[in-house]
Structure formats: C-alpha cells, structure tokens
Amino acid sequence: MITAYEITLAQAADAREIAELSRDAIERGLSWRWTERRVLRAIRSEETNVAIARRDGVLLGFGIMQYGDDEAHIVLFAVRAQQRRSGVGSALLAWLEATAAVAGMQAIRLEARIGNATAKAFYRRHGFSEYASSPGYYEDVEDAVRMVKRLAAEP
C-alpha cells in the first residue's frame, strides 16, 4: 500500500538523517558543514524552522528556514534522490511558505549553486526570481545565485 507522507517540524532524533542527506544531496564537493550537531542547534533554535517529510518512517526530504525581522531565509533544502519529481519538494516548500506568511514575513530568500539547474527550475516554478549572484559563495568552488519570493500579506 502506498501511504501519504507527513510534513512536520523535525525532532532532535531527526538531526542525523537530515545532516547525512545534506552532506549527500547538497554539500557534495564541499566541506560537510551541516553536521548532526549543527542541525540539532537549528532544530532547537526559536529563529529557525526545520521541516521534514516522512513516509513510513523514511525521511523523504527536509527544509531549514531561518527568520529575520521581516524576511525568512531558506538555508538548506533537499529531497532524497529516489523521491524526487513526485511533489515532495513542492509540499515542503508550501509548508515553509505558509509558516513564514503566518509569522508575518514579507519575503523568502535563498541561495543555490549557480550550476544547479534543477534547483533554479524548481524555485522559479514556485515564484522565486533571481536577483543577484555571489561569486565564490560556496568555498570558492562555485558561485551562488540569490533568489527571492515576495509573500502576500496575510489577511
């Protein structure tokens, strides 16, 4: 039977899997900065939401979003390779956007590797647009593209 996945806030016990998915899906070719300890700090931080999608106990994907005064910043976002292109990323992003809007955020910003055509297509599809690039952003290995989406004010 195919069961639906659930999107929830991460718990401390999720930190290791999230860190490993970050290492494998996002930080490849770079130092592993989002270690279990750092993810754990994000889970415990009041300025950060760590959202996960799980089905039958399996971590499908996650997103980490930090709050500023009036804008939020997606710092890390990935879906497990075998689960891509089935809407998990869209559902996670919608969850984060709704949460940011309820918190009164006016925009969400993020960076992606300039060569990451998949991420750029994904975020464009969800209303983000590119507004700048940051040379050498990823440990001088790769440039970043900066993207932003303005959020509609909550009624």
Ligand X SMILES: CC(C)(COP(=O)(O)OP(=O)(O)OC[C@H]1O[C@@H](n2cnc3c(N)ncnc32)[C@H](O)[C@@H]1OP(=O)(O)O)[C@@H](O)C(=O)NCCC(=O)NCCS
What is the contact surface with ligand X in residues (CB under 6 A)? 25-26, 77-79, 84-90, 112, 116, 118-119, 121-122, 125
Residue 59 or 112 having the CB closest to ligand X? 112
Q: Give Cα 70 distance to the centre of its chain.
A: 18
- Residue 106: what are its φ and ψ, rounded to 5°? -95, -15
Distance of closest approach, residue 73 Cβ to ligand X, in angstroms: 12
For residue 116, what are the contacts with CB-CB under 8 A and spacing of at least 6? none
Whose CA is closest to 20, among 53, 66, 59, 73? Answer: 59
Residue 84 or 146 having the CB closest to ligand X? 84
Pair 70, 114: CB distance under 8 Å: no
Residue 16 or 137 having the CB closest to ligand X? 137
Distance of closest approach, residue 42 Cβ to ligand X, in angstroms: 14
Determine the residue with CB nearest ligand X. 89
Residue 95 or 122 having the CB closest to ligand X? 122
- The Cα–Cα gap between 107 and 70 comes to 7
Distance of closest approach, residue 155 Cβ to ligand X, in angstroms: 27
